[in-house]
Structures are given as C-alpha cells and as structure tokens.
Structure 1
C-alpha cells in the first residue's frame, strides 16, 4: 500500500513538473499573412526529443470536431495525419523544440483558419494550452462605377470584399449625404463579406466618397469619385467593367470596329496602288507621244 502511494505521488509530481504555457493566448492576423503561435514547455534533454509528442489541433468552434494541423512523433513530423487544407501551409518549427518551444507556423492564412487551437505535449507527463486565432481582411480594394437610368438619374455604386462585416456610408464633398442609399451584404464561400452600396441622384459637379468602417479593425477605407469626365452607360442593366470600375466595350463591338479599320486600310492601300499604276501608264503614253 505504501509503495503504491509512493509511486502515485511521484507520478503526480512528474506531471506537475511538465507544464505547458502560452506566451500569447490570442493572435490577430491579416488574411494572407503568416502567423507563428507558440507553446512553451520545460527544455528537454537531447535524448528526450525522440520521446516528445507534439500535437496541434484546430477547432472552428468548441462543439465541432478537431482538425489535425500538425503532429510531431518519434522524432519527426507526421504529415500523413495532417488535414488537407493545411498541407503546404502549416508546419512545426522542429529546430525550436530543443529550446522548449513548440511553434506552429501557418502561411497564407485563410479566414477559415480562425478559431481555437489546442497545443498538446507529452513527455514523461502531458499538458496543453488553448490559443485563439482571429483572422481579419481589410476592405482595401474598393471598386466604384456609375450608371444612368431611363430618366437620366445618375447613381454611384461601390463594392468591396473583407471580414468581418463593415458599415458603409457616403459623403458628398466631405459631408455625409442624405440621398437614398441601398447596401447589400453577401457572405461568399471563402468567408468574405461582399458589400455593395449604391447611392442615387448624384450630381456630376460634386465629389463622392464611399467609406467602409470596420469597427472590429478600427479601420476606415474609402474610394473617392468625381463624375466630371466619367463615362456613363445609359439604360444598361448589366454594365461591363474592368478592374478599376470603368466601363469597357463588349467584345463583339471591338471586333466590328477592328474589322472596319482593317477594311479601310485595305481600301486606302488599293486606292493608292491604283493611282500609282495609272500614273505610270500616263507617263508611258506621254513618252510615246513625244517620240512620235
């Protein structure tokens, strides 16, 4: 009985000595960047690295099943058990293990990488820590374009992708506008919010700012537009735009214009050759008349 108590006390003591800590309990990262999340543990002996087991798991929510991000076992990283969405992006910095640091590195961070990460280590005992990863995407790229209705009313539309959801408001010459505004929010398959906002009854003599306010990021981004010299498409329900938001001609229109230009060029060349031929004939006839 005494022997059993002695063994039990020693086992609990070993477990108490092996403690995993997390210098940061939460990380906030921008979409597309690289993050390194750290768990610290007692510095192991060199021979103990082959006994060390490190597992990083990801929970989108606490109720969902965990996804294996990376696993270190028997002295090497086991990529066979890795969740496919992390392949080529997530890895354990093995060289840091000898310093008592289990660092998970995730590159090209996606919105779906956000959630709770469990760092579990085993070596003569076991312990774990939970770390939260927040992923944000700024509304940096804002497309703007205009349209003209049947009654010649001008409208401006701005559109952007980001996360989390942002509020949109409009300014006219730096002052908040009271014109009718319609704003829609759509969550796409990648987790981004596609926000589209349209303001009606705009005046070509004023400058308009489409402003995105992201409260969680404490960030404001905007796109400014002045309609003077801006090209409008009248009565177009589905305008075509390039990446900057300006209208482009349909492909069949471009082809027709190109064909007309080519035909004109051919006509000019043939006309020039015909005149040159007639001029040579005239010179020959003139030379014969002089001889006679």
Structure 2
C-alpha cells in the first residue's frame, strides 16, 4: 500500500520538528471485545482557532503497514485506505478543534489487533503509537448429556473464542477429570477457535460435573454445569401416558360398536312389533311405533 506523501515528509523532518510540536496518546493500550466499537485517541496542540487547511492526520496499522484513515490538509482521502477498514472507520472531526484526533472502529475484528500509529502534521509534526488488543472470551458454552447405557454418560461442551482455550473437567467434589476427556479445536470464522470437549464417564443419576473453559492469555474462565438427572421416571411416565391413551381409544371404539349393535337390535324389535300389530288387526294399514 502506497504511503501518503506527507508521511514521508514527516518522517524526514521529524527530528527537526519534534521539539516544537508534540503529539500525546492518553492511552497507549486499548482493549476491546470482538464485535464492539473502540475509539483510539491522540492529542496535539492547537493554540487558538484550528485552521483545517493546515491540518493533516493519518492513522496507520503500523505492524502491517495498512492505511486506516487519512485527512490531508483538511480533506478526507480514502483512496489508499486498506480494504480491511472500509466502512468501519470514522474520525470524529468535531473534536479536532479541541486538539483531539479520535479514531473510531466499529464492529471490531480479531484481525484489527495490533499497533496503530497516529501522525499529526500541523505547523509541526509528531506521532504516537497505540496498541489495540482484541479479546474474544468463551462466554457461551453449548452442552449436552447423552446416556450410552449401563450407567455410562457422554458429556459434551462446545464454545468459540480466542485465543485457544484449555478445557478442564471436574466432578461435584472438584476432582480433576481432564485426563479422561477428549478435547479438539479447529479454526472458525474471523480467526476464532471452535473448541469441543467430550467426557465419557460412568456415573449414577443426580450427579453434577463442571466444564471449565480457561483462557490463559486473558486470565478468564467460563464454566458450564452439566447435571445428570433421573430420566427413567420421565420415560416411564411417557410410556404410561401412551398406554392409557391407547386404552381409552380402544374402550371408546368397543363402546361405539356395542352401541351401534344395540341400536340395530332395537330397531329390528320395533319393526317386528309393528308387523305383529298389523297382522292382528288386518283392517289397519298403519304401523304403530312405540
């Protein structure tokens, strides 16, 4: 990526101008969580009303020589901006009058981590570097408990974060079971690690196990609690409900058949009775129904 001309000029004359013009960085280290926004700041002397046409500001990702933002003599210039930052960078220009160069990065990515250089040219020239650290804690742990038979259970924990986490297993007495677990990791999107750990163990019901994702670099841990519950009662209750439901359906069906047969029988009796009355009284042509 081609560096802006004023940056070359600045680097050449910096040792002459530095004594007259000083840029400061209130925070040399910024820490942000992946997906959030971050604002990095460097300050410079204004000495009265700011003359934008005399001001040039440049932000560069120093360790990778990527142009992040450029304001040249009061005019924004995005032609050399690296594609990693397009659409996510904003300089809060209203703060320049106060001698503050505030660079905002939205939706921070893991790849944004690194050393940034803030260069200010305004009468004099100077720069400061700011280290941006991006963290991605293993905040959400997906878990599963599956019976494999004969009081054996497969416990699974899965999460995504950065950097790669160590997974520790403990029982309710906090005894270490990590050596019995199988843990694997793979790279997901945006440099995240997808870590899955499985512990297969024999255990009775109503037992508790702890799955701990330990992020050594961030000195953070996230814990999931896996509970082996008595699922036998639930199965029996389900089967019992199904049996009762089937019995009720069968009973209703048999009852309907019996009722139908009873109605047919009663109807036949009515017809036969009517015919008998007609024979007994030949003069009558009516069928008498009860």
For normalisation by structure 2, the TM-score amounts to 0.70
In the alignment, structure 1 residue 223 sits paired with structure 2 residue 224? yes
SS at match of 1:190: helix
Contact 2:119–2:127 (CA under 8 A) maintained in structure 1:
yes
Change (3 A) 1:12 1:171: closer
Q: Deviations over 1:17-36 (max 9, x none)?
A: 11111111111111122211
Corresponding residue of 2:34: 31
Structure with greater proportional helix content: 2
1:32-181 correspondence runs (5 A): 32-43=35-46, 45-46=48-49, 48-59=51-62, 62=63, 64=64, 66-149=65-148, 153-178=152-177, 180-181=180-181
Q: CA deviation at 1:219?
A: 1.7
Kindly state the Cα deviation for residue 79 of structure 1 after the two structures are TM-superposed: 3.3
Alignment gaps of 5+ in structure 1: 1-10, 232-263
Matches of 2:195 and 2:156, distance apart in 1: 10
Instruction: Verify the 8 A CA contact 1:161 1:193 in the aligned structure 2.
Output: yes
Name the CA shift for 1:150/1:167 in 2 (closer, same or farther; >3 Å).
Answer: same
RMSD over aligned CA atoms reads 3.3
Q: Which structure: larger Rg?
A: 2
Alignment equivalent of 2:21, drawn from 18, 21, 24: 18
In structure 2, C-alpha distance between the alignment counterparts of 1:197 and 1:95, rounded to whole Å: 50
Deviation at 1:48, TM superposition (A): 2.2
Would you say the 8 A contact 2:17–2:126 is kept in 1?
no
Moved over 6 A (4+): none
The TM-score, its normalising length taken from structure 1, stands at 0.69
Note the 1:190-209 alignment, pairs <5 A: 190-205=190-205, 206-209=207-210
Provide the residue aligned with 1:260 in structure 2. none
What is the CA–CA distance in structure 1 between the aligned matches of 2:288 and 2:96, rounded to whole Å? 106
